[in-house]
């Protein structure tokens, strides 16, 4: 499934002052998004939070979707990079390595907990498609890493899919639900699960 291209800006800022204005608008867009969600955000609210008039905002962005897509793209780029490193690192031999990278994954998700919550609850079409595409890329990376680590390609796609979806679901659920379960216990159980599963599957 193709991912929609982000909406283009009306005008690219070329001077330092205009770049600073765009940054203020994007910072305000993030604040409004986290406070009110996609539906509750509006160009008027974003402009007010940025301390600019709506006309100034429209010089650079055609609508609120263009602003919020830029906000989300920037945050998700960083989050995806951190998640990718954590997933791939967790496949290295030894429970200590698995534990270390599961901790890194929880750190990444916890650092963007408010954004993760908004995306999990609302997931507009563009971001929903991006999440699917990202999950598939992680599946392929994990499958490739498993083959490189264990030299055994039998059933590796299914193993990768199971690992990615299980770890993703547990870690995101823990961050969003904040259950009465200590983080250390979650890491202990996931480490045992991932390590035990890989050992039973690949020896």
pLDDT per residue over 123-166, tens digit each? 555 556 667 777 788 888 888 877 877 776 778 899 889 988 89
Q: Is 3's pLDDT higher than 70?
A: no
The domain defined by 71-202 folds into: Tetracycline Repressor; domain 2 (1.10.357)
User: Could you tell me the two tokens for 169?
Assistant: 């679901």
Mean of all residue pLDDT scores within the chain: 81
Task: Give the model's pLDDT for residue 2.
Answer: 35
Question: What confidence tens digit (pLDDT) does each residue in 28-83 have?
Answer: 999 999 898 888 899 999 999 999 999 999 999 999 988 988 888 887 777 778 77
Q: pLDDT higher for 197 or 121?
A: 197
The residue ranges of every structural domain in the chain are: 16-62, 71-202
Task: Give the model's pLDDT for residue 145.
Answer: 77
Task: Give the model's pLDDT for residue 85.
Answer: 74
Q: What band does 4 get if pLDDT is binned at 50, 70 and 90?
A: very low
If you classify domain 16-62 with CATH, what class do you get? mainly alpha
Task: Give the model's pLDDT for residue 88.
Answer: 66
Task: Give the model's pLDDT for residue 75.
Answer: 76
């Amino acid at each position: 499934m193709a991912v929609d291209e982000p909406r283009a800006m009306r005008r690219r800022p070329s001077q330092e002052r205009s770049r600073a204005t765009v940054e203020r608008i994007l910072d305000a867009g993030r604040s409004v998004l986290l406070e009110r969600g996609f539906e509750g955000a509006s160009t008027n609210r974003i402009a007010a939070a940025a301390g600019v008039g709506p006309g100034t905002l429209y010089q650079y962005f055609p609508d609120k979707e263009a602003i919020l897509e830029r906000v989300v793209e920037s945050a998700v780029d960083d989050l995806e990079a951190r998640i990718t490193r954590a997933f791939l690192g967790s496949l290295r031999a030894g429970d200590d390595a698995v534990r270390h990278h599961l901790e890194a994954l929880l750190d990444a998700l916890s650092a963007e907990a408010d954004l993760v919550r908004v995306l999990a609850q609302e997931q507009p079409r563009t971001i929903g498609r991006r999440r699917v595409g990202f999950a598939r890329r992680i599946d392929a990376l994990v499958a490739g890493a498993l083959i490189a680590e264990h030299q055994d390609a039998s059933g590796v796609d299914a193993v990768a899919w199971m690992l990615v979806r299980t770890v993703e679901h547990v870690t995101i659920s823990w961050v969003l639900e904040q259950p009465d379960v200590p983080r250390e216990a979650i890491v202990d159980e996931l480490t045992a699960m991932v390590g035990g599963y890989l050992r039973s599957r690949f020896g």
